[in-house]
Amino acid sequence: MENPKLGYFLIISSMLITVATAGPTWSHSIRRGKKQITTLHFYVHDVRGGPNATLYAVARAPITADSPTSFGQINVFDDLVTAEPDINSPEVARVQGTTTSADLRVRAVSMNINFFITAGEFNGSTISIVGRNAVFEAERELPVVGGTRAFRNARGYAITKSYSNDAATNYSVIEYTIYVTSTKV
Ligand SMILES: *[C@@H]1O[C@H](CO)[C@@H](O)[C@H](O)[C@H]1NC(C)=O
Ligand SMILES: *[C@@H]1O[C@H](CO)[C@@H](O)[C@H](O)[C@H]1NC(C)=O
Ligand SMILES: *[C@@H]1O[C@H](CO)[C@@H](O)[C@H](O)[C@H]1NC(C)=O
């Protein structure tokens, strides 16, 4: 090692970096000291109609019915989250919260949602997302604003895309990849 300071730094760094035990396909985590960097990848099942609906409308504004963007529509949901796109694959989380159609010009919702992890090493932890979601754009970015337990002091972002949509049954599958840094305190 030509630079002794660099050699020392590399040895200390490799001591601090502990790669978490190989987990399930939908979650990957590494630890650097007190910092944990996690990637989560899964599918949200948005069932808006039929006997197994998990999303309901709760309120509308006087202009919602005439608005091209459904302005003022508020929905609440408790959607199933699975590691695979198939709705019959095992549950890994629920995503619970509300969306408000809050854009007068294009279809975009203001989201207030919590991912509640129900499987694996992060079972019982939550990740909170608040942000603007322009639902007809191919790829949307949403801010992670906080979390609990494994995700205390969480910061990060989520990339979300529509995976499939069945207008006849009001059922869509939405893909989420969440990149989150949290800190053990
Ligand atoms: C799907 O949604 C539309 C519009 O909200 C509604 O008219 C229709 O009855 C719904 N279909 C089912 C199967 O829930
Ligand atoms: C509703 O859920 C039940 C129980 O999981 C299932 O058997 C049924 O096929 C579902 N119905 C629809 C329309 O998805
Ligand atoms: C997740 O945690 C809950 C509450 O502690 C427990 O009942 C459940 O069995 C756990 N699920 C898994 C898949 O570990």
What span, in angstroms and rounded, lies between the C-alpha atoms of 111 and 174?
14
Q: What are the boundaries of each domain within the chain? A: 25-183
Residue nearest to atom 13 of ligand 3 (CA): 119
Kindly state if the Cβ of 50 falls inside 6 Å of ligand 2: yes
- pLDDT (mean) for 131-153: 97
For 72, the 3-state DSSP assignment is: coil
Confidence bin at 5 (pLDDT 50/70/90): low
pTM: 0.87
Distances (CA, A) of 74 to 2, 25, 118, 145: 62, 34, 26, 21
Residue 171 has pLDDT above 60, yes or no: yes
Report which bound ligand comes closest to the CA of 70.
1
Minimal CA–CA distance to 93: which of 128, 119, 72? 119
pLDDT in tens, 37-63: 999 999 999 999 999 999 999 999 999
Q: What amino acid occupies position 18? A: T
- Given its phi and psi angles, is residue 54 left (phi above 0), alpha (psi -120 to 50 degrees) or beta? alpha
Ligand sitting nearest the alpha carbon of 92: 3
pLDDT digits (tens, 9 = 90+) for 92-103: 999 999 999 999
**What is the pLDDT of the chain when averaged over all its residues?**
91
CATH fold of 25-183, please? AOC barrel-like (2.40.480)
Q: Give, using CA atoms, the residue closest to atom 9 of ligand 1.
A: 49
In DSSP terms, which residues pair with 31 in a beta bridge?
18, 36
